[in-house]
Amino acid sequence: MGAIKRIGILTGGGDCPGLNAVIRAVTRSAHGAGMEVVGIMEGFGGLVNGLWRLLDEKDVTGILPRGGTILGTSNRDNPFNYCVRYEGDQPIFEDCSEVALENLEKMGVEALVVVGGDGSLHIALGLSDRGARVVGVPKTIDNDVGGTDVTFGFDSAVITATEAIDKLHTTAESHHRVMVLEVMGRNSGWIALMAGMAGGGDVILIPEIPFTFVGIAASISERRERGKRFSIIVVAEGAVLPGGEPVSRVSAAGTTILGGVGEVVAREVEARASLETRVTVLGHLQRGGSPSPFDRNLATRFGVKAVELILDGKFGMMTSLRTPDIGHVPIAEAVAARKTVPPDGDLVSTARAVGTSFGD
């Protein structure tokens, strides 16, 4: 094989601050190495459907500070389970990864950079197994991808969530209320923990440490005894009760409560602690906005590293931060295990030392 002349890049999964910084870095450093860059639109769906265009310098000028992705993305499009065939009225989704591979060839793409989270990296691995030359760049605001100290997007999400806690503090204090903030984190509590610590949250509920309503109420009572008549509760959407029971099934008075875990926690606390309680669900605000400088720089370093991996022929690899260095790990290794908060680790014990309760 001769020198690679054209590479492709796609962004998959939920949008995340820093995606554009990766696209810019990949494009510029590939151009600097004499390669062309094909932007594949709308994630893996666009790969199957053949949506693409050549990226030039003008496309990536000015995108560094912008959230989102100029390539578009899609959450659910998996080439291994995508093409539709009908049996009667019933749609059957089938593997059409062959089409994806053919399209890469049609585009003249000799190596592909896949920027994505757990799901996208699994697909990248599948394409790699079928012969595609793929390099991965990890992306998740949840920080639950293994094989790297951290991914871009996480710092920005923590900043957004911390600003929200800062804002809720004024209402909580002025009204002697309990304010509940629900943040992202279905499987891991990183955002809740880091934003909760940074915002001075009084109770932090995360999937890794099951909580009880009795535990929360005890913390709030204990605060009240010390003269603090308000509390801030930060809860990850995936917080669970002992035994891993999901919160949304539980009810205050025997009936089922609709709404997310934040709503449930708020109603229980109100009932048990006789304090007015309000809930805020941050939702997609955590994905939006201009990436933080940390995320812009990490994304830029990952992008440049991805091109280096291609030039070095290190396919099937994912870029990785091993502070202070950028390195690489096999994609297979990175996706093998989600990264979760160690319940007995230094971060949790630090939070406890400054007075935070985990409701346990």
* Residues identified as active-site: 142
Q: Can you state the percent helix, strand and coil of the chain, rounding each to 5?
A: 40, 20, 35
Q: Which residues contact 72 (CB under 8 A, 6 or more apart)?
A: 11, 41, 42, 43, 46
3-class DSSP assignment, residue 109: coil
Which of 44/128 has CB closer to its own copies? 44
At 67, list the tokens. 């959230």
* Residue 157, CA atoms < 13 Å, CB-side half-sphere: 31
User: Of these, 231, 300, 319, 320, which contacts its own copies (CB under 8 A)?
Assistant: 300
User: Of these, 49, 50, 59, 72, which contacts its own copies (CB under 8 A)?
Assistant: 72
Q: 94 forms bridges with which residues in the sheet? A: 83
At 311, list the tokens. 């030039």
User: Of these, 187, 248, 280, 340, which contacts its own copies (CB under 8 A)?
Assistant: 280
d(C-alpha 301, C-alpha 271), whole Å = 50
Which of 188/300 has CB closer to its own copies? 300
- Binding track, positions 109-128, relative to its own copies; x by CB under 8 A: --------------------
Check: CB of residue 331 under 8 Å from CB of residue 318. yes
Q: How far is the CB of 62 from its own copies (least distance, A)?
A: 8
Q: 203 forms bridges with which residues in the sheet? A: 233, 357
Helices and strands: H and E segment counts in the chain: 12, 13
Q: Which single residue is written with the structure tokens 């915002």?
A: 199
Q: How far is the CB of 24 from its own copies (least distance, A)?
A: 7
d(C-alpha 278, C-alpha 289), whole Å = 25
d(C-alpha 337, C-alpha 187), whole Å = 12
Does position 81 interact with its own copies (CB under 8 A)? The reply is no
d(C-alpha 205, C-alpha 220), whole Å = 14
Which of 210/303 has CB closer to its own copies? 303
Measure the CA dihedral 281/286/288/290, to 10°: 140
User: Of these, 5, 32, 108, 246, which contacts its own copies (CB under 8 A)?
Assistant: 32
Q: Which of residues 169-208 bind its own copies (CB under 8 A)?
A: 169-171, 173-176, 179, 194-195, 197-200
Q: How far is the CB of 283 from its own copies (least distance, A)?
A: 4
Size of the site for its own copies (CB under 8 A): 86
Which of 210/230 has CB closer to its own copies? 230
Which of 15/128 has CB closer to its own copies? 15
Q: Which of residues 218-237 bind its own copies (CB under 8 A)?
A: 226, 228
Pairing of strands 6-11, 36-40: parallel
Does position 101 interact with its own copies (CB under 8 A)? The reply is no
Does position 91 interact with its own copies (CB under 8 A)? The reply is no
Which of 124/307 has CB closer to its own copies? 307
User: Of these, 108, 242, 246, 355, which contacts its own copies (CB under 8 A)?
Assistant: 355
Q: Which single residue is written with the structure tokens 């593997």?
A: 95
Q: Which of residues 37-66 bind its own copies (CB under 8 A)?
A: 42, 57, 61-62, 64-66
289 burial (CB, 10 Å; 0-12 / 13-18 / 19+) is middle
Q: How far is the CB of 101 from its own copies (least distance, A)?
A: 25
Q: Which of residues 8-27 bind its own copies (CB under 8 A)?
A: 14-15, 17, 19, 24-25
Does position 74 interact with its own copies (CB under 8 A)? The reply is yes
Does position 97 interact with its own copies (CB under 8 A)? The reply is no
Which of 29/219 has CB closer to its own copies? 29
